[in-house]
Amino acid sequence: MTSALVISAPGTAAPPLADALQAAGIHVLGACECDKLVQQAVRGAPDVVVCWEPQPAESGLFAALELLSRTQPMPVLVFTADASAEGAQRALDLGVSGWVVHGWSPARLRPLLQLTQARFAHEQRLRVERDEALQRLEERKLVDRAKGILMRSHGLSEDEAFRRLRGAAMQGKLRVGRLSQQLIDAARDAEALNRSGQLRMLSQRLVALQALRLAPAPDVDAAALQASARRQAQAGLEQLGRSLSQATFGDLLQPLQAAWGALERALDAAPRPDTLPALDALAETCLEAAEKLTRALEAGSALQTLSAVNLAGRQRMLGQRLLKQVLLGALLATSEGAQPLSQAAATAREFDQALQRLQQLPLSSPAIRIALDAAAREWLRMQQGVREAGHASGRRQLAQAAEALLARFEELTGDYERSAQQLFD
């Protein structure tokens, strides 16, 4: 039996709707005014709501119907004296399925109720079909983006990228769109962490290159390398500003941008040995701010393997930090140079320990192991340059080995990003 909830306007000569509905074989759950519509509708869950409201625009009926459509949509039949097009349009917008102007009769109630329910069911089907079409469209966009990531990172064709996505989705019992979203999120997190980690390295690299401008090494154009590093840092900051949520990471990104601005201004001055300690202090502030952001990015990601990306990326910073410390120790007066030289030994130990951890990680592929072996050889060559940094030839070996080591770990960091996506290998 069809059930109905009757809503009538207060202070009006309401027709005997409840009696007529019962006479037509409709189970009337109750009657109330429109301010109780949502409460009674949710509680009673009627098959249809039947309203009598001569002037709904002047009462609270439209407000109650709007709340009902958001809370628990159901068929609504309204009898009214409002013949305006505006009233009918408003009712349609609020999901009213039946809108009868000027009169009703007991003989018409059942057909009107059936039409109201049928129209409501039809509109619900249309909404479901629309939502499903929109979902398919959004999924197609996600799949296209995910295919692009796989094509770039793995060198796949479009067909092969989709085949891997579909196979992984079937294996994981996920929709392809859902899996694509996970891949997009992972790629976004890895890229943001990589860029933030690069800023750690660049803070150290810029001071090291400033020192190389003051203590030149043969065949090393420190000024050109420094200009390139500054452009790279600016591009990284701009990309992080575009890609990171200000609400989530703004409190970490803004101090980094401010610290970098101070370092940039200091680098605009002509290089002098007496300005190196102040420049290094600014670089350390940048390093600390970038480290905080990098840690937060790693901790906030659902991608567990970002720790490997971070560890490999941090080796870039340690290599440049060691170069900086050794050059400052050679350039500065004995009292000022002693501290960076003592710190250099600790940096070298930290690099050694991290290199061993990377060699033991389960993510290591044959290509990564070969690259790690090559990086280890450059590390040995750099250590030899450290011991001979007091001579131009030693500084040349030190600077060249540091460049080669940096290039190796730039490649390795990218390799670890790709290896982190084990689902697609």
3-126 CATH pick, 3.30.70.1150, 3.40.50.2300, 3.30.70.20, 3.90.930.60: 3.40.50.2300
Task: Tell me the pLDDT tens digit for each residue of 254-301.
Answer: 999 999 999 999 999 999 999 999 999 999 999 999 999 999 999 888
Task: Tell me the pLDDT tens digit for each residue of 107-130.
Answer: 889 999 999 999 999 999 998 999
CB atoms within 10 A of CB 143: 23
Task: Tell me the pLDDT tens digit for each residue of 332-342.
Answer: 877 777 888 88
pTM: 0.70
| Domain residue ranges of the chain, discontinuous segments joined by + | 3-126, 129-172, 176-424
What is the pLDDT averaged over residues 319-336?
88
